[in-house]
Amino acid sequence: MHTGTTTSLREKLQHLIDNKTKPHGALGRLEELALQIGAIQGTTHPQLNRPHIVVFAGDHGIAATGLVNPYPQSVTAQMVLNFITGGAAINVFCRQNGLGLTVVDAGVNFDFDTSLFPGKLVSKKIGYGTRNYLEQEAMTPEEVEKALMAGADIVTELASNGCNCIGMGEMGISNTSSASLIMSYITGIPVEECVGRGTGTGDEQLEVKKETLREAFRRHLPAIAATPDALTILRHVGGFEIAMMTGAYLKAARLRMVIVVDGFITTAAMLLARLIDQNVQDCCIFSHTSGESGHARMLEYLGAKPLLNLELRLGEGTGTALAWPLLQSSVLFLREMASFESAGVSRAGEA
């Protein structure tokens, strides 16, 4: 992103942006978006083709304890069925904005009959949920590698069909707990300051959740401190869906796709991908700041500037879908808006 060629391209993009029929900087963040998307794609005429959101679903062993989540683990499978029958928020927003949607079984504790939903559900199941990290490592090294490769394969297939803009979503009861631990290990922020309510957690349950995750953090800290890399963190406290998103981010960045990051769990996966390849973030646009308390701290750590703040705490990729029109607008003004010369409009200070 920082070669001489890229610098020259950024200068050309900035000149085009500044030469549109508007005061300098008058389109604010849209101008920053246009510049970033052009730089990602390596062109002064960027296009967003076949935009797609992939929702990765997986279960977490800790959910069965009831210590960190008010909903039973079975809700993961129920929501996946809701996704593939078109009834969830992400379905509504994808339909509204013309976004493609793929739902992936990364490791749900349920056997889906995919013949009942042809083309609606991609099965990449690693297992029937991770192991309970209060007692043991969540995944084996082989499971982590398999999940990373599966995420990359999903992105490769979408790219081969012409998609150059992708967002990740997730579903998994207790995955905010896994994301909180990941955030704490990577950022150094105490785990209790990373923990939020997730979906539907009350005050009393939140305190139990914090203490439970402090215990989990302490249990795995020696091993992670000894080898503080993304694969080790995933193995100890990750989720199948989080590992697949990590692999998806890495592949999408290598393909120079525009990556739109959603909320707390998807940003935790991006943190892991960034730990593997620092350049991943160059391709990322951060759609929103979620209502999950740790997310703002996570974004601050990354130096990220999210587009929206709607206090969302749903996941599924909903923030990405809602931010999509802003990306469209940024590209379209760059491509279609008249310049001062073409429109015959005088600049400020000109006679």
| Lookup: tokens for 64 | 């069965």
Q: Are the C-beta atoms of residues 321 and 93 closer than 8 Å to each other?
A: yes
| Calpha distance 105→55 (Å, rounded) | 9
Q: What digits encode the pLDDT tens for the residues 101-112?
A: 999 999 999 999
Residue 266, φ and ψ in degrees, nearest 5: -65, -30
Active-site choice (193, 316, 336, 341): 316
| Calpha distance 286→259 (Å, rounded) | 8
| Calpha distance 138→129 (Å, rounded) | 9
Confidence band of 3 (pLDDT split at 50, 70, 90): very low
pLDDT of residue 85: 95
Q: Are the C-beta atoms of residues 39 and 285 closer than 8 Å to each other?
A: no
| Calpha distance 35→129 (Å, rounded) | 41
Alpha helices of the chain — where are they, by DSSP H? 4-18, 29-41, 74-84, 89-97, 141-160, 175-187, 191-194, 203-226, 230-237, 240-254, 264-276, 293-302, 318-336, 340-343
pLDDT of residue 199: 62
| Lookup: tokens for 111 | 């056997």
| Lookup: tokens for 20 | 């549109």
Amino acid symbol at 116: L
What SS3 state is found at 124?
A: coil
Q: What digits encode the pLDDT tens for the residues 131-153?
A: 999 999 999 999 999 999 999 99
pTM: predicted TM-score of the whole model, two decimal places: 0.94
Burial of 59 (0-12, 13-18, 19+ CB in 10 A): buried
Q: What digits encode the pLDDT tens for the residues 257-286?
A: 999 999 999 999 999 999 999 999 999 999
Q: Are the C-beta atoms of residues 239 and 60 closer than 8 Å to each other?
A: yes
Q: What digits encode the pLDDT tens for the residues 50-81?
A: 999 999 999 999 999 999 988 899 999 999 99
300 classed as catalytic? no
Assigned CATH topology for domain 52-326: Rossmann fold (3.40.50)
Could you tell me which of 64, 58, 143 has the C-alpha nearest to residue 107?
58
Domain ranges of the chain: 4-47+333-343, 52-326
| Lookup: tokens for 321 | 């879908």
Place of tokens 């943190």: 271
Place of tokens 């730089």: 39
Residue 103, φ and ψ in degrees, nearest 5: -110, 130
Query: Percent of the chain scored above 70 by pLDDT?
Result: 96
Assigned CATH topology for domain 4-47+333-343: 1.10.1610
Q: What digits encode the pLDDT tens for the residues 193-208?
A: 999 766 666 778 888 9
| Calpha distance 313→198 (Å, rounded) | 7
Q: What digits encode the pLDDT tens for the residues 281-319?
A: 999 999 999 999 899 999 999 999 999 999 999 999 999
| Calpha distance 130→125 (Å, rounded) | 11
| Lookup: tokens for 307 | 């587009």
